[in-house]
């Protein structure tokens, strides 16, 4: 009987350890519940203002951290830097950072962003990531 109790205690300890060490947060996923964007998303009229307000700020993507997302060079930085994948838009680096599938979730302190920033970025990429 003593051996059986020891086995149960040992098994319980292993299960407890598995649960404790198996539960850790490594990534924050941003769930996008906004409706799909069906109209044309223009880089200069829609994406650039979002990047300017939320990303191209001092100490962030204003030239000190790649990619440079200031208005004059944002398009080339995203395209030349391979942050956009028009063949598989959901695998675009910029989209993965926005959705939290790449860490850290961007933009940091997301309180100032339009709620549909992810949907807009994804729609723009799906539409061919044009410099329009």
| pLDDT above 70: percentage of residues in the chain | 78
Query: Residues of 57-96 as b/e, b for ≥16 C-beta within 10 angstroms?
Result: beebbeeeeebbbbeeebbebbeeeebbbeeebeebbbbb
pTM over 0.75: no
More confident residue, 32 or 85: 85
Q: How high is the pLDDT of residue 112?
A: 45
Q: In this model, does residue 74 exceed pLDDT 80? A: yes
**pLDDT of res. 44:** 96
């Amino acid at each position: 009987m003593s051996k059986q109790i020891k086995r149960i205690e040992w098994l319980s300890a292993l299960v407890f350890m598995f649960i404790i060490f198996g539960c850790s947060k490594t990534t924050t996923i941003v769930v996008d519940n906004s409706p799909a964007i069906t109209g044309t998303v223009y880089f200069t009229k829609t994406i650039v203002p979002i990047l300017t307000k939320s990303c191209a700020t001092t100490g962030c993507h204003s030239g000190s951290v790649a990619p440079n997302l200031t208005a004059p060079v944002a398009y080339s930085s995203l395209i030349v830097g391979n942050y956009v994948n028009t063949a598989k838009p959901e695998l675009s680096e910029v989209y993965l950072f926005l959705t939290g599938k790449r860490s850290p979730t961007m933009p940091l302190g997301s309180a100032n962003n339009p709620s549909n920033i992810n949907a807009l970025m994804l729609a723009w990429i799906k539409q061919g990531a044009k410099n329009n």
